[in-house]
Amino acid sequence: MLLSSIATAFHSFKGSSIYRSLFTPPTTGLLHISGFTLAVLLVLATNPPVLAQKPEAGTWSYTLHLQLTDTLLQVDVAINLPANHNSSTWMLFNRHIGLHDVTLNGAPAGFHRDGDTLVVDTPADEAATLQMNYTFHRSEAGSWSDGAANAGNPGVAPAESNNTQIFLERFHKWYPVVYDNFAEYLISVVVPSTHVVYGWHRETGRDKAGDNTVYRYHCTDEDVPLFITRGDIFEAARQVDHNGTHFEFRFLPRDKRLLAVSDNKPVYATSPAQIDSLLQSTTTNALLAFDWFQANLWFQETDTVRVVESSIFGLAVGMKNCIVIDRSLMSMEALDGYALSHELGHLWIGIHTLYQAKGKFFLGESVNEYVNLLSYKSRAGSAAFEQAIRNKTELRYSEKPFFKARFDQVLNQGRGEGQFELIYNKGVVFMHEFCNRIGQQKLLSIIKGTYSRPNHFVTLSDLENQIRQHGCWDQYLELFGLEL
């Protein structure tokens, strides 16, 4: 399975040439390849400065108001800075977004940009309200960005988008971000009624206003991703009420879907009945995976989970109650049966991991993918599970030939070059070695102890403390001596 992060702990991305040649329908191959190239640029271009980490920044409160029209996305931001906010707290922001007005307590504010960082002159010992607004434009090709980002810096667009869908999250810095900080968010999004908004958290309100719909969210978290899509591009929703959770699946209509790969050639399902049965097993697998996570990690009260198929290549994200998964990953799901459940796993694991700390991507992605494979084993059997591990050991879906890696390479791997191989493959194999040494129940108990604390940024120390408490330290140390 081929996953790498575009930007966040909860993104997945498939991009090897092997994957593309197998799974990309020839008619759209060029589009997909260029989409991948762009995403790689994004990965390289958005590495933040080291000074971004301010875990002690305290709770800031944001009011975000978005208004979408045919050609513009207008954003208004107000941030209440608490008294004694640290004036050296840096707000990361997409430096290419042109700010229209920046005011502090109603008066024009002084600010400057330092790399990705927005520095506003504020009196540190007083509470203050910082306000700003800016606009994203829709290009003729249909993508959404700030004009400046398009012209000089194609890799730093503030949103992932295509003609019909926009995805906004903090790693694109579409609003000023303090990393590793939980903040309170009051959000309203006004879209034409032809559109639907999928938010990170449960909606707190939805109203009609003329030809528009207003979506409201109120939450405390480190991020508030929003997925805005035209509503009329999907098949009729498949809705399932299951063990107290309402599931809604929105698939894109497609006249063929990948069914298998035989002799290195894609085999497609083309009849409506075949496609229907394929999607039926996708939804069934998702429910089984969800049940497994509830039972084997910890129970989370979840009233709704919405799964939306995206036409933005490379976009897959597990949000709090919404999964967005792109068409190519849906193809992968048809083949291996655990691409969608990877994103479901992020409802439990790896969303709040300290931004630039050692082991971030191991904690956020390798652990999640291994837990995902354990859930896969429960529904697909041991042989399928063992095969999935071998695929990762051998880098089966990678562009790079088989190579061996050490555990400290995995822990030190950040975003970018080598991430896919080391985090989504080798990191998972190391987890498997650890599991073989201590047993699945102990491993799950360690993971539960590490990740189940609310409003907490998980670090490698949290994991290691749990490993010690479970008496598994020696087995953990053994991982550092292995080459896998």
Interface positions with Zn ion (CB under 5 A): 12, 365
CB of 326 to Zn ion, least distance (A): 13
Rounded to a whole number of angstroms, the minimum distance from the CB of residue 51 to Zn ion is 27
Question: CB of 318: closest distance to Zn ion in angstroms?
Answer: 7
> Shortest gap between Cβ of 368 and Zn ion (angstroms)?
6
CA distances from 363 to 102, 370, 464 (A): 37, 11, 11
**Helix or strand (DSSP H, E) at 129:** strand 128-138
Q: In the 8-state DSSP scheme, what is residue 178?
A: -
Which is nearer to Zn ion, 6 or 149 (by Cβ)?
6
State both tokens at 174.
């579409």
CB nearer to Zn ion: give 215 or 290.
290
Nearer CB in complex with Zn ion: 12/16: 12
Residue 443 burial (10 A CB sphere; 0-12, 13-18, 19+): buried
Q: Record the tokens describing residue 19, joined without a space.
A: 């994957």
Nearer to Zn ion, 336 or 365 (CB): 365
Distance separating alpha carbons of residues 326 and 131, to the nearest angstrom:
35
* Residue 200 · residue 217 · CB < 8 Å: yes
**Contact of 130 with 109, CB cutoff 8 Å:** yes
Nearest residue to Zn ion, by Cβ distance, number only: 12
Give, for 138, the enclosing helix (H) or strand (E).
strand 128-138
| Nearest approach, Cβ of residue 345 and Zn ion (Å) | 8
Question: Minimal distance in Å, beta carbon 8 to Zn ion?
Answer: 8
Q: 56: buried, middle or exposed (CB in 10 Å: 19+, 13-18, 0-12)? A: exposed
Nearest to Zn ion of 191, 395 (CB atom): 395
Contact 200, 322 (CB under 8 A): yes
Q: Is 445 exposed, middle or buried (0-12, 13-18, 19+ CB in 10 A)?
A: middle
Minimal distance, residue 400 CB to Zn ion, in Å:
20
Closer residue to Zn ion in complex, CB, 12/413: 12
Q: Which is nearer to Zn ion, 12 or 161 (CB)?
A: 12
DSSP H stretches of helix in 184-336: 272-296, 327-336
Nearer to Zn ion, 116 or 343 (CB): 343
Query: In the complex, what is the shortest distance from the CB of residue 66 to Zn ion, in angstroms, rounded to a whole number?
Result: 26
- HEC string of 281-320? HHHHHHHHHHHHHHHHCCCCCCCEEEEEEECCCCCEEECC
- Comparing CB distances to Zn ion, the nearer of 104 and 447 is 447
The continuous run of DSSP H or E covering 474 comes out as helix 473-479
Kindly tell me which of 130 and 428 has the beta carbon lying closer to Zn ion: 428
Residue 131: Cβ within 10 Å count: 16
CB of 346 to Zn ion, least distance (A): 6
259's CB contacts (< 8 A; 6+ apart) are: 267, 268, 269, 274, 278, 334
The least distance separating Zn ion from the CB of residue 460, rounded to whole angstroms, comes to: 18
Four-point Cα dihedral 33, 160, 343, 419, nearest 10: 60
Comparison of 146 and 365: residue with beta carbon closer to Zn ion: 365
Q: Please, what is the minimum distance in Å from the beta carbon of residue 71 to Zn ion?
A: 33
Who's near 316: CB < 8 A, 6+ residues apart?
A: 3, 11, 12, 13, 310, 323, 324, 325, 326, 329, 339, 342, 343
